[in-house]
Structures are given as C-alpha cells and as structure tokens.
A and B are shown apart, each in its own frame.
Chain A
C-alpha cells in the first residue's frame, strides 16, 4: 500500500513538473531556431534536428536602425518601475493594514471594513475603467510618458494587493503581542517597529511577491500611459510583431522577461525553506 502511494505521489509530481517545465524547454529551443526550423514541424534537439542560430536573440539587442528592438532600456525601466512601485506599495500597504487591523475608525457609517473594501475595490473594476482617469490625471500633472507617472499609477494598482494581504496577516497575529510590547515599555511606534514589523516579514514577502508579479506583467497601463520617451518591456516586445510572427524572437523575449520573476521566486523560496515563513507565529 505505501508503495502504491509513493508511486502515485511521484507520478503526480513528475506529471505536474512536465506541465511546468515543458513550455520553458519549448521556448528555449524555439528561441534558437530560424524560420525554416520553426515551420518545418516539431523538432527539439539542436544540431541533431535543427541548426541553432542566435538570430532570435540578437534582434532583442540590436538597435532599431538594424531591424532590432533593443530591449535593454525598456528592460531596466520595467525593473525600476515594478520594484520601486512594489516597495512603496508594501511600505504604505503594511502601515495602512496595521492601522486597519488594530485601530477602530469611524466616520459616519464608514468603518474599518469599508475602508479595507475601498482598497480592494480598486482591483474589482476592469482596468479599462481606470484608463481615462489615469491618463487625464497624469497629463494634468505633466507625468505622461515618464517613469514617475508609471510608478504613481502602479502604486495605485499594487497597494490594494498589499493592504489586502497584510490586513489578513495582521488579523491573525494576536494583538496581545502588541500589548505585551506596550507593557514592556514600548510606545506605539516602537511596538510597531521593534516587535510587529520583524514578525511581519513573512507576510510582507508574500505581498511583495504578488505586487512584483502583477506590476511586471502589466501591459495595458504601460501601453496607454507611455509613448516614446519611456517604454516598458511588455510594450516593447509587442513591437516584434510584424507580418511574419517571429516566434524565435518572441520566445527569446518571453524567456528574458520571465527571468526576473524566476530570480525573485528563488530568493523567496530560500526564505520559505529556512522556515522563516512558517511557524513564525502560532
């Protein structure tokens, strides 16, 4: 019986791994192909089944004058905007979430839950609804087509995620821990920074992960709110599309754009396996 169980377990894990890994393998092999190799039926092994070429990759780094799209600028723009916006969202989101979790607010019929819902409601509407307001807002501020403008917009989009995750996290941290800190001589600020914050790192990491993912994959707002001056990676990649879909360059671009997320995932996984995330609070 245990043998069968082990077999089923490993079978499921391997099956799932195949589903996860296969697209990557596919993309890697495709990125080294040329037009003939891609259209000439399914092939997987370089040199044996097709002749690898770096054409797909070089397009990404060549300047426009040589028929490339040069993603290096947009790439760093994307990293800068996503990480800055995520960091600010986590910082503000954690503070708001703590306040919402521990203090009682009341303004007429508006109470804590309503405020929390207000944050979340920012993500309930389809993004299209926000497009025109954001456009007008940024153009009034003179921040259209700028990094600062994008960061501002992303904070609006990402902070609700941070607030949502952190409110839930703080609600599960016994408030007696804060009280003990107060009794042990901390004023409310010290209690937050010396006791609550160090114990919130797991929650903040999870919230940060979500913010980075959602920020990184955004195409819509990056497309609408920028023109020529500042471009983000997803928008730039679309420029690859022409009359013939360049599958090889698209694959290369996909791999490049997913790389930062993989790095982030590995870093977070470190934290997870150290046990810092689990069991920090009973």
Chain B
C-alpha cells in the first residue's frame, strides 16, 4: 500500500494514500469562533468545504508551527472531509502489504505510525465545541 507520510514534532505518521485527495498550499483559511484550538478554520477548495486541523495541536498540544506556506493534506473518506496541516509533509511511501503487521517504516528504517482518518475524526469529536471551555 501507499501512504502519505508526514511529521509532527519529529515523529513520523502515515495515512493510507487512498484517503488523501490532494496536498495543497497557499490557500486562504478562515477561522470560526467557538471551535477547539486545533481547528484553525475552514477552506474552500474546488467546490468543497474542509475543516482545517492543526495536526500538531491535535496530537501533542504543542505550539502551532502552521504558517501561510504550510502544506495542507486534503482527506476525503466516506462522507467526511478534513484538511490537516502537519509540520512537514514527507511524501508518498510504499509499504509492503505483507510486512504491514511488523509496522511501517521509511527506506532509512525510521518508524512510521499509521493512523486512520476515522481515528483522527474520533479524536476531534471528543473535543469541546461551542461557548464555554474550549479545549
């Protein structure tokens, strides 16, 4: 299988490439009030609206490294759409399906944590929305 690898705080993560629609940059993002800190806004790309998530904050609660030149991974799966911004988008990595149970890694042997869009979604749904305490 092919995965889109990206890094957050020096750690590598991978998403199944079939859920990744495109990687874009230089797109205007519009923030909305009452959303969790990791939700940095909305973007409209080719007629579709994406929630934009700062992956760094979502994963590690660290200070955001997002800037206007950050690369954005657009994901589409089932009926959901999400745009995530990691620290660095590493690129496509091919993994042997047979060896996947041993864990994914780069050609240099660096370990990649595979994540699913659903796990990201579940994580997002657990956050607080609306007025009051925003996580």
Q: Is B one of A's binding partners? A: no
